[in-house]
Amino acid sequence: MYHTCLADHLSKIGVFVSVVNPLVIKRYIQMNLRRIKTDKADAEMICTYAMQNELKAYQPESAYIRQSRIIQENINLLLKSRTMFKNRLHALEHKTGSSRGVLIQPLKMTVISLSRQVKKLEEELIRLIEVNEPELYARLQTIPGMGKSTATHLIVMSDGFRKFESAKQFSCFIGLSPVEKRSGSSVRGSSRISKQGYGTLRNLLFLCSFNACKSNKSCRELYERITAKGKSKKLALIAVANKLLKQSFAMARSGLDNDPAYRSVKPAMK
């Protein structure tokens, strides 16, 4: 949030700007075995990184995307607060004592108030998407198993699917890409997803995978094929979530509506 205003201003007046993941800079400093941690030393290493690596130019987001992202972040904060108050309310309902009734009513009112605020923000978020991306928003919802909330998050986090060049990049961004740890004959770590990214969208896609296994033909076939090999159901659901992401990306880039009978044709190997 703090860097966007500066990056947008510099980009607007013609200054080259590149926004790099801070974890990349941190690992670069560690790789160079720097033990000094000061602002001057960090600035020197950032400068060195910029001179040794090819940097990608910063592309300002659309105004409605930035506004939608702020609304999403506010919704997430309200949902966390509502969950906290719900847990306290549940604990008090099972507690005995004269003060129990006095405390329960204010908590109930707080939960109701938070729910109303969440609903208003969700309506405003959907309105923004429907005004700026009406066709894409409607097209994503034609995918069996895809809901309004997931479609909204996909559009906002990908800037209308213009932020990423492939579905694989998008999958890595939200932490759905597989991670393997193997080395020689001794290290045989179990495969798992990275979970490094936007967890809310990852969770939404995972929840959508339950319905997609029933209503989405290609997702159902994928789920049955993986479970038939003896793999866990959770692994199959994660694969279905990735499948939904790929379907969404393909439909957004092609401009075509969902077609259950469609099959992509790969060019023959020469």
pLDDT tens digit string along 48-64? 999 999 898 888 888 88
Name the residue type at position 54.
E
State what percent of residues in the chain have pLDDT above 70: 86
Q: What is the predicted pLDDT for the residue at 256?
A: 76
Strand partners, 188: 182
pLDDT value at position 82? 93
| Integer CA distances (angstroms), 262 to 32, 128, 148, in order | 50, 31, 23
Q: What is the pLDDT of residue 88?
A: 87
Position 267 scores a pLDDT of 42
With a cut of 60, say whether residue 266 has pLDDT above it.
Answer: no
81 vs 163, more confident: 81
pLDDT given at position 63: 85
Q: 152: Cβ–Cβ under 8 A, 6 or more apart, which residues?
A: 68, 125, 126, 129, 137
pTM: 0.77
pLDDT at 100: 61
22, pLDDT greater than 60:
yes
Residue 136 or residue 183, greater confidence: 136
Nearest-angstrom CA–CA distance, 106 and 97: 16
pLDDT at position 183 over 80: no
pLDDT tens-digit readout, 83-105 = 999 998 888 877 655 556 677 88
Tell me what pLDDT residue 174 has: 85
With 90 as the cut, is the pLDDT of residue 124 above it?
yes
Return the minimum-mean-pLDDT range out of 43-57, 64-78, 178-192, 231-245: 178-192
